[in-house]
Amino acid sequence: MNALILHESSRGIDSYTAESSLLSKRVLFFTEEVNADSCNRLIEYLLYLDMDKPGEEITLCINSPGGEVVSGLAAYDTMRMLNSPVRTVCIGTAASMGSILFLAGDKREMLPHTKIMIHDPLIAGLSGAKKALELEKEAAQLMETRAITAGIIAQRSRRSLEEVYEKTREDCYLTTEEAVAFGIATGIAARII
């Protein structure tokens, strides 16, 4: 929903969208599945805001079920390389790759009743018969992805890899307080804007 907002001024009636108004305040929303399209749009907006006012904070509000690892890592890497600090705010659930995007924030805040979900990556869409070497290759790629995502969680939360591997063996939902205690979140959000 991107409703048109009308504003009367001395020049007449101006129209703009909520998205453009929030963008002017350096606030972005990521409220969809992590995939090539959604991450390319996010990267485009992040680069624009970083170029527009380098060094000024960008707020990224996240409510995502997760999705593609490669696309998510591209957005994560971009966020970590910007000249502008990024503040991430969980506004619902940041799950799976959504939690990795959340972890890219310099400040990582959660609304009081939100959740973060971390887990080991999975292979989606296994179908048909596979040869032993094909399965072995997929398993090796999955373990490599596991090491990458666990490394990000460990680095950003300042936990050991062993602690992260133990926590991510199954889907692990963390409340705001649990996420702060584990080091995934840096605090509870007092405001969004």
Residue range 157-166, pLDDT digits in tens: 999 999 999 9
- CATH class label, 18-188: alpha beta
DSSP labels, 37-102: HHHHHHHHHHHHHHHHSTTS-EEEEEEE--B-HHHHHHHHHHHHH-SS-EEEEEEEEEETHHHHHH
What was the pLDDT predicted at 143? 93
Question: Once rounded to an integer, what is the mean pLDDT over residues 179-190?
Answer: 98
Q: What pLDDT, in 10s, does the model give residues 142-154?
A: 999 999 999 999 9
Q: What pLDDT, in 10s, does the model give residues 62-111?
A: 999 999 999 999 999 999 999 999 999 999 999 999 999 999 999 999 99
Question: Once rounded to an integer, what is the mean pLDDT over residues 19-40?
Answer: 95
- Pick the closest to residue 171 from 110, 106, 98, 107 (CA basis): 98
Ranges of each domain in the chain: 18-188
Contact 108, 186 (CB under 8 A): yes
Catalytic center residues:
96, 119
Whole-angstrom distance, CA of residue 23 vs CA of residue 122: 34
- Pick the closest to residue 118 from 68, 62, 187, 164 (CA basis): 164
Contact 105, 87 (CB under 8 A): yes
Its pTM stands at 0.90
